[in-house]
Structure 1
Amino acid sequence: MSIDQLLKEHAQTKSLVKGAHAFRQGDRDESLYVVQTGLLKAYYILPDGKESIKTFLKPGSMIGSLSANYNGGACTFNLVALQDARLSQLPFTVLLEGARKSHEIAREVIEFLLALYMKKEQREYELLSLPAAERYQRLCAEDPDLIEQVTQNDIALYLGITPVALSRIKKRLQLSEDGGHH
């Protein structure tokens, strides 16, 4: 038994139109979602009302709120479709039960958690250690398609800077590429 088989047997399809949420911060949502089509963003609404972007999700990505799924708490973030999207929605309890019964599923869950942890570690390093311009350059190099698909505002929020700061960085990088000539 694999996670793919578990999804085929137990998941429901959830279709979202652009702008629709799979869940919101504060909701009790006990599902794991696998993106089949579309582009989504996971984001926080901060106490001052501002938005901070956790991650973007493309087909093949898996996400769920462990605070809600495993601890019985509320979701700590929002999940919204940036394009029309189709998700597979699997109850988290089905995944846990599958992992208890199947070594293959348990191994896949461990691999997923390790990959997720490494991604989080990299993101923390970039946010806490690298200048904004370097974070932007890395994002452009690692995911050029994403740069074309999301708004400049969302890129700025993902990088932890203001849209004005992003605009300045892009202008500075453009000038350095042009050798400073106008």
Structure 2
Amino acid sequence: MNFLSFIEQNGTALHKDAGDHLFRQGDSDSSMYVIKEGMLKAYYVTSEGKETIKSFLQIGDVIGSMSAAYAQMQNTFSLICLEPCTLIRFDFKALHSASLTDQELSKDVIEILLKFAMKKEQRERDLLCLSAQQRYEKLLDTSPDLIEKVTQNDIARYLGVTSVGLSRIKHRVMEST
């Protein structure tokens, strides 16, 4: 069985409105989600109340807190719908168990995890090695639709700058083009 067949057989369709959380940091939710429609934001909140954006998720992405799903810990981040969303929710433990005996499913799970790891590796590299302006320019090049859909405050939090800093960066980028 492949991954799509697994979620068709074992998943549950879920519809959420903009502003609805799938889970919050500190909750225990061992579910994983496949995004069929809409956009979500995964974010952290520090003990001081500062929000930092981990990622934006769109159609086709698979998301869940691996700490909660695999290690039965609390969710390390929150997941909120930025627009109305349709998702398929499935139990990670059931996927893990089935993948241990189904080679095709196991291969698909490995592919999903590899894509996830590469995405996280790239995000880490960008945050550590690129300037804020370079991160913004890369976002413009790779995800122009994101710039249109997401608030400037969220873009700033994703880039790791203040709203004022983002405004300055945008001004410099516009002047240089």
TM-score range, shorter chain: over 0.9
Offset of 1:19 from its aligned partner?
Answer: 0.2
1:71-150 correspondence to structure 2 within 5 Å? 71-150=71-150
Superposed CA RMSD: 0.7
The residue type paired with residue 72 of structure 2 is G
Structure 1: gaps spanning 5 or more residues: 178-182
Offset of 1:66 from its aligned partner?
Answer: 0.8
The residue type paired with residue 116 of structure 1 is F
Aligned residues: 177
Q: Distance between the aligned counterparts of 1:166 and 1:57, measured in 2?
A: 21
1:48-59 correspondence to structure 2 within 5 Å? 48-59=48-59
Offset of 1:30 from its aligned partner?
Answer: 0.9
Structure 2: gaps spanning 5 or more residues: none
Q: Distance between the aligned counterparts of 1:59 and 1:162, measured in 2?
A: 28
Offset of 1:90 from its aligned partner?
Answer: 0.2
Offset of 1:174 from its aligned partner?
Answer: 1.0
Deviant stretches of 4+, over 3 Å: none
The residue type paired with residue 10 of structure 2 is H
Give identity over the alignment, percent. 47
Q: Given the two structures, how large is their TM-score scaled by the length of structure 2?
A: 0.98
**What corresponds to 1:158 in structure 2?**
158
**What corresponds to 2:10 in structure 1?**
10
**Secondary structure at 2:86 match in 1:** strand
Offset of 1:41 from its aligned partner?
Answer: 0.5
Offset of 1:85 from its aligned partner?
Answer: 0.3
Q: Deviations over 1:56-81 (max 9, x none)?
A: 01010000101101111000000000
Q: Distance between the aligned counterparts of 2:138 and 2:15, measured in 1?
A: 32
Q: Distance between the aligned counterparts of 1:8 and 1:122, measured in 2?
A: 31
Offset of 1:164 from its aligned partner?
Answer: 0.6
**What corresponds to 1:41 in structure 2?**
41
Q: Distance between the aligned counterparts of 2:94 and 2:86, measured in 1?
A: 20
1:13-24 correspondence to structure 2 within 5 Å? 13-24=13-24
**What corresponds to 2:30 in structure 1?**
30
The residue type paired with residue 85 of structure 1 is C
Q: Distance between the aligned counterparts of 2:141 and 2:173, measured in 1?
A: 14
The residue type paired with residue 168 of structure 1 is R
Q: Distance between the aligned counterparts of 2:130 and 2:64, measured in 1?
A: 28
Q: Distance between the aligned counterparts of 1:169 and 1:135, measured in 2?
A: 10
Q: Deviations over 1:134-164 (max 9, x none)?
A: 0000011001111111001111100011111
Q: Give the greater-gyration-radius structure (CA).
A: 1
The residue type paired with residue 68 of structure 1 is A
Q: Given the two structures, how large is their TM-score scaled by the length of structure 1?
A: 0.95
Offset of 1:93 from its aligned partner?
Answer: 1.2
Offset of 1:110 from its aligned partner?
Answer: 0.8
Offset of 1:2 from its aligned partner?
Answer: 0.8
